Amino acid sequence: MSGEQHGNSTHYYFDNSSTRVQSSEFFSRPVFVVLMLVMVTLVVVIVLGNALVIFAFKVDKSLRRQCNYYFLNLAISDFLVGAFCIPVYIPYTLTGRWTLGRGLCKLWLVVDYLLCSASAFNIVLISYDRFLSVTRAVSYRARQSMTHQAIIKMVAVWVLAFALYGPAIILWELVVGGSRVPKDECFAEFYYSWSFLLSASTLEFFSPFISVAFFNLSIYLSIRRRRLRCRDTHLHLQTGETASAQGEGPPVPQPWGAKLAVRGSIHSQSSSPSLGKMDPSVSRTLQPNRLSRDKKIAKSLAVIVCVFAICWAPYTLLMIIRAACKGRCIPHHWYEVTFWLLWLNSAINPFLYPLCHSSFRRAFGKILCPKRNTTPASSVMRPGP
């Protein structure tokens, strides 16, 4: 680490922090063009994908349920990643120099860390909401109209995301008495603070990952218990039917009556807007449609866990290792790759979350293919032959 004296303050710079080189020295022209196309494509996918989610929520009032507000919150954070964070960073990546000034550098850092953290916390919130929908179905459905609770949780996500890195980005330079960032570069002052990054990463990645994995496992176990109860019920009915058929005299009608009652219960519960009319344990056992839906939820959460880990783990681990060895053991291009992989998560989320739900797919269909969802008046009024 070297230091330069400016007036009464000393600005320390790490010798290995200036690892960027000019694009003319590092990128050939074909590589430069390919990278530009890939980055612009990523921006377009992120912006359009998340804008579609936001627009669907605006035009389709049926989506305005408590559970869907969390998808909206995730789409907003990911949309801003593509609309602001990546476009500002593209010239820095391709040229190796930050030319937008220290003020915009600070703003970009605050917004980027805020949005990425908010995206991770929103994923946890969505997973927790799915967990409640499976394990506490009755009370969950009763709370769907209470949108103020969803708004409170959404605001809490943004406050927590800002508190994680925002104050450190803004105040770190004042606390240590000087800047460690060269004028033509832009990174956070805590870039090499191993203890701070380890603590922040625990809250930003490790805790969310463990939480999402726990919710997914809990949903799987809950679904497994329901399947076992449902199988035991069917075996009991089949045993009763077999026993009545093998007995003397005409078959005893009770098992058939019980079977019809079971079918009637399933039909009435699947068409009922509320599960409060039956005992929750019975209704869960006797609903194959609900079990099928919960299986899809479990599979989608398993994919969520994997995608979240793939996009976040490399960046988090390399960030901690780089800070521990003061940047001497991690080449900068590997850090850049993991950085873009982190942003890639914002492009995947619109397809991974809303598109997995039929209500959002219907809304997307109305927006993208309005003619298919509109029945011509002539076909309705014209009598048949």
Q: Quote the CA–CA distance of 383 and 385 in Å, as a whole number.
A: 7
The tens digit of pLDDT for each residue in 148-186 reads: 888 999 999 999 999 999 999 999 988 888 888 888 899
Confidence band, pLDDT 50/70/90 cuts, at residue 252: very low
Higher pLDDT, 48 or 147: 48
Residues paired with residue 2 on neighbouring β-strands, in sequence order: 13
Contact yes or no for 127/211 (Cβ under 8 A): yes
Task: Give Cβ neighbours of residue 165 (< 8 Å, ≥ 6 apart).
Answer: 110, 113, 114, 117, 188, 200
218 to each of 63, 130, 135, 140, how far by Cα in Å?
Answer: 26, 11, 8, 16
The tens digit of pLDDT for each residue in 360-378 reads: 878 888 888 877 655 444 4
- 2-223+297-370 CATH: 1.20.1070.10
Residue ranges of domains in the chain: 2-223+297-370
Confidence band, pLDDT 50/70/90 cuts, at residue 133: confident
Angle between helices 66-80 and 332-352 (to 10 degrees): 150
What is the token pair recorded at 14? 């790490």
The tens digit of pLDDT for each residue in 282-321 reads: 444 445 666 666 666 667 667 878 888 899 889 888 888 8
Task: Give Cβ neighbours of residue 111 (< 8 Å, ≥ 6 apart).
Answer: 80, 84, 85
Nearest CA to 103 among 158, 173, 207, 44? 173
Q: Give me the helices (H) in 247-279, please.
A: 254-271
pTM passes above 0.75: no
Contact yes or no for 137/143 (Cβ under 8 A): no
